[in-house]
Amino acid sequence: MSHDEDHITSTREKLVRMANQIATFFHSKPREEGITGVAEHINKFWEPRMRRQLFEMLDGDPEDFDDLVIAASVRIRRPLTAEQADKSLGYARPAEAEGAVPHK
């Protein structure tokens, strides 16, 4: 496994762990309040790229996620594309940022 693959794996594991920690806190609340709390927390504190990665994992194999995370996912704002997630943070590819047209 390359260094980049190690980084991707560790990032994904961290996102799963963080999402599950949020859910653990909200298990002390009634179920509906817990679902709402998980979704609100992720929407408020996770940047779009993190939410995009969360949905990539949930769409692929959600078995590592706490049930409250899975239930809350319908209320979490889903960035449509990687580019949308980046643009929402003010990032753009260099050609777009400068208004240049890429060479063919």
Task: Check whether 88 has a pLDDT greater than 70.
Answer: no
User: What is the rounded average pLDDT of the residues 34-55?
Assistant: 96
CA 15 – CA 20 distance, rounded (Å): 8
The whole-chain average pLDDT of the chain stands at 82
pLDDT of residue 80: 75
pTM score:
0.71
Exposure string for 25-41, b = 16+ CB within 10 A, e = fewer: ebeeeeeeebbbbbbeb
Please give the residue that has the higher pLDDT: either 93 or 44.
Answer: 44
Helix residue spans in the chain (DSSP H): 3-26, 31-45, 48-60, 67-72, 82-88, 94-98
User: What is the rounded average pLDDT of the residues 63-89?
Assistant: 84
CA 61 – CA 63 distance, rounded (Å): 6
Return the amino acid letter for 99.
G
Task: Check whether 55 has a pLDDT greater than 90.
Answer: yes
pLDDT of residue 58: 95
